[in-house]
Structure 1
């Protein structure tokens, strides 16, 4: 690994540490959504007519057993409901409840406040440059991982 790649690896490690702290603080201050489940709740909410747990697992690239436990916590908390699938009576569709939508709004407000505070002394150009670079890096890393998965599957 060259020095430049190592520096990026170190900064990524720092970012992941801060993101863990951010999630921990949010869950301490706004415990309506169990820790680590804001993203999944948001994914369910973005599905116009709800989703099946297997679709959520695929979309989020998580193991079905992980999704099952997460959904159980969201249902227990009253943030998600299981409704009968109108197309398949044997299945259920996950939908966000009103309580869940309120919790998402509160979490988003909290996160945007934290981000706004962190970026308070950045210029609009710095923010735009960072956003562009972060999007490019995320896409490149996703592509590298997808390519790596395809290569390993073919072997």
Structure 2
């Protein structure tokens, strides 16, 4: 569902290239003056992947490179006004999608879903931080 949702958003809201929305959000969260190395660490991505994504965001006018005032050899990243507008539009699109999906859910159902999704997210984070893990068959149950 995540892949299909991202694909649909990219088709309907073309201002932010597919796969770049997360990067744009992180740059926005880091604020003006973000360095590419910070972005790579926050995104948990290889610097070459980040470099390509940033280049696309710069080419689309969503992010600007600025000279680092503390290091003349480096540049920092900042979301442009067009980038902020595109980000707001994309996030609004996701909000309206979730609102439509949950339109006939009761408040209790939404609260229960929220609790269980939070629990699942934490469990996945814990599982990914272990050095090794074995399959227990729970994935088949989830499917």
Q: Please classify the TM superposition score into its range, dividing by the shorter chain length.
A: 0.7 to 0.9
Structure 2 partner of 1:77: 60
Q: Taking structure 2 as the reference length, what is the TM-score of the superposition?
A: 0.87
Give the 3 Å change call, closer, same or farther, for CA 99–142 of structure 1 in structure 2: same
Q: CA deviation at 1:49?
A: 3.0
Root-mean-square deviation over aligned CA pairs:
1.2
- Count of residues paired in the alignment: 132
Q: CA deviation at 1:101?
A: 0.1
Structure 1 partner of 2:9: 26
Q: CA deviation at 1:50?
A: 3.3
**4+ residue runs of structure 1 moved beyond 3 angstroms?**
none
Flag structure 1 segments of 5+ consecutive residues without an equivalent. Answer: 1-17, 150-155
**Between Structure 1 and Structure 2, which shows a larger proportion of helix residues?**
1
Q: CA deviation at 1:139?
A: 1.7
Contact 1:50 1:96 in 2 (8 A): no
Contact 2:68 2:74 in 1 (8 A): yes
Flag structure 2 segments of 5+ consecutive residues without an equivalent. Answer: 133-143
Distance (whole Å) between structure 2 residues aligned to residue 136 and residue 62 of structure 1: 25
Per-residue deviation, residues 3-29 of structure 1 (Å, max 9, x unmatched):
xxxxxxxxxxxxxxx111111111111
Structure 1 partner of 2:136: none
Structure 2 partner of 1:152: none
Q: 2:84 aligns with which of 75, 80, 101?
A: 101
Could you tell which deviates more after superposition, 118-127 or 92-101?
118-127
